[in-house]
Amino acid sequence: MRSGSQSTAAEQTPASRRKAAPPLSNIIKSCLDDAKAEDVVSIDLNGKSALADTMVVASGRSNRHVSAITDQLSDALKAAGHKSVRVEGLPHCDWVVMDAGDVIVHIFRPEVRTFYNIEKLWSPDAPADTSIAS
């Protein structure tokens, strides 16, 4: 039985020697690069939306590639401790949305990405949210 004065090994390691976990956006960008995602764009949502801090948009060459990117990213996020990632759009894999909390990831087939053009909607030049809260 441990007494209250003993501490764990993590508590004994000086803060300067502990390895900090990489930021969520860095994990996502690295994984998308490893999965050969194309045209990866990161959009800062600060001041535009309370949903997330960052939106990442990427393309896969085909439905199968979009599915593989999604699976690889989901596994990487789980391995990094982000267990509650929500995924929508997997059955068709034309457009998959992954909500990782502070970062929302959209993975498109190129034709679908061109059609919806969400980069234009969320770009820095787009007007900030001016809706009135009731």
Of 127 and 98, which is predicted with more confidence? 98
Looking at the domain assignment, is residue 56 inside a domain? yes
- The whole-number pLDDT of residue 128 equals 55
Of 5 and 88, which is predicted with more confidence? 88
- CATH number assigned to the domain comprising residue 43: 3.30.460.10
Looking at the domain assignment, is residue 39 inside a domain? yes
pTM: 0.75
Q: Per-residue pLDDT tens for 52-80?
A: 888 999 999 999 999 999 999 999 999 99
The domain containing residue 80 runs over which residues?
A: 22-121
Burial 88-103 (b: 16+ CB within 10 A, else e): ebeeebbbbbbebeeb
Query: How far is residue 47 from each of residues 40, 51, 58, 81, 130, measured CA to CA in Å?
Result: 22, 11, 22, 27, 11
- The whole-number pLDDT of residue 52 equals 86
Tokens 């949502």, located at residue? 45
Looking at the domain assignment, is residue 62 inside a domain? yes
Q: Per-residue pLDDT tens for 9-55?
A: 444 444 444 444 568 889 999 999 999 999 999 988 887 888 888 89
